Structure 1
Amino acid sequence: MLRYLAFGLYGLTATLATPAAALQPELLTGTMGRLQVSETPWQPEVETFAREDSTRGRLSDYAGKVVVLNFWATWCAPCRAEMPSLQALDDALGDDGLEVVTVAFGRHNPMQMKQFWEQAGITSLPLHLDAGTELARALGVKGLPHTLILNRQGEVVAQLAGEADWAAPETIAVMKAFLSQ
């Protein structure tokens, strides 16, 4: 009996040390209720993408910031719907150490990407591209939109598949919790 109690307490201690424990359960409401928080933060094996100017970027370029890494496509209606809220999230918390990093999934015409940005009212989010989908595949992206949250050390701590309201009060509260870690 004592062995089971000790194992149970060990499990509780391990749980309290996870990023999920840092998020108060009441924060995970609305679309954040679908946020999957990693039991153990993990470092991506692939981290490169193409920047708008055709140079190579790396996720490590954002070290020291909490990154909201969003995969999208010009043909994706839910991506189109959520993109203004990602802009609003960046506007709200960009000065607090949060970086919204948008990466177009697959091959895209740069002119169509810019037109998408204009139509969605995007003013400051990056136009990065993962043409060969190496980064997306390494991160387990299977559908769009798909968003991953990386901590200041560049580790994946959470992800959300599907459309979300990134400007909702509960989302802002969750992002502030990640920023405080």
Structure 2
Amino acid sequence: MLRFIALYTSMVFAANGALAGPVDWQAARDAGLPKLVESAPAPAPQVPFSDLDGGTHSLADWKGKALLVNFWATWCAPCRAEMPALDALQKAKGGERFQVLTIATGRNPPAAVHKFLAEAGVTALPTLTDPQLALARASGVLAMPVSILIDAEGNEIARMTGDADWSSPAALALIDQITAQ
């Protein structure tokens, strides 16, 4: 019961920008994101990565938006379990202030990426890749999946190793708090 009180309290504050304050990381952990770890704000790496259409990107391309950057691979079972929730989060909260970026990391042939996303029912996420693991290494990613929260100024503010239900009320409230700042 206590975790739901914390969740709904954080949702009330997130919904009212005039009351917005610091993100309540503990409430997010208590409400269903137990592996979430707050980071001391530090600039996210600006290492290039690509998309399946041959374009080159960096996280700076999304500056001004809060991001949830998810590193995943086609061979990763927890990634498969998590991907529909990431897609649902993008559908629910994606827009001017927030974006989910899923980045297939390592050797993930384009056909395997497309098959993985189709089987997971993903329709709202970009097809981004980091085949040389350059961004993953610069970000300190040692396992998959890893999700990194980046604020609108381009600073890493939290991360989670392992899968999560990113479409849960706890995750939605957390994104509301991050985008209200």
What percent of counterpart residues are identical?
A: 36
Q: TM-score, normalised by structure 2?
A: 0.84
Check the 8 A contact 1:28/1:174 in 2, yes or no: no
Q: CA deviation at 1:30?
A: 4.5
Check the 8 A contact 2:45/2:59 in 1, yes or no: no
Q: CA deviation at 1:87?
A: 0.4
Q: CA deviation at 1:31?
A: 4.0
* Residue pairs, 1:46-57, within 5 angstroms: 46-57=46-57
| Segments ≥4 residues shifted beyond 6 Å | none
Corresponding position: 1:77 with 2:77? yes
User: Over alpha carbons, which structure has the higher Rg?
Assistant: 1
Structure 2 equivalent of residue 34 of structure 1: 35
Runs (5+) with no aligned partner, structure 2: 1-20
Runs (5+) with no aligned partner, structure 1: 1-19
Structure 2 equivalent of residue 164 of structure 1: 164
- Secondary structure of the residue aligned to 2:67 is strand
CA distance in 2, matches of 1:67, 1:45: 13
Structure 1 equivalent of residue 62 of structure 2: 62
Q: CA deviation at 1:28?
A: 2.4
Structure 1 equivalent of residue 5 of structure 2: none
Which residue type is aligned with residue 61 of structure 1?
A: D
Q: CA deviation at 1:96?
A: 5.5
Point out the more displaced range, 44-53 or 70-79. Answer: 44-53
Which residue type is aligned with residue 175 of structure 2?
A: M
Alpha-carbon RMSD across the aligned residues, in angstroms, is: 1.5
Q: Report the number of matched residues.
A: 161
Which residue type is aligned with residue 109 of structure 1?
A: P
Which residue type is aligned with residue 30 of structure 2?
A: T
* Residue pairs, 1:31-180, within 5 angstroms: 31-38=32-39, 40-95=40-95, 97-180=97-180
Q: CA deviation at 1:81?
A: 0.3
- Secondary structure of the residue aligned to 1:81 is helix
Q: Note the alpha carbon deviations across 1:41-96, whole angstroms, 9 max, x for none.
A: 11133432111211211100101111000000000000000000000000110136
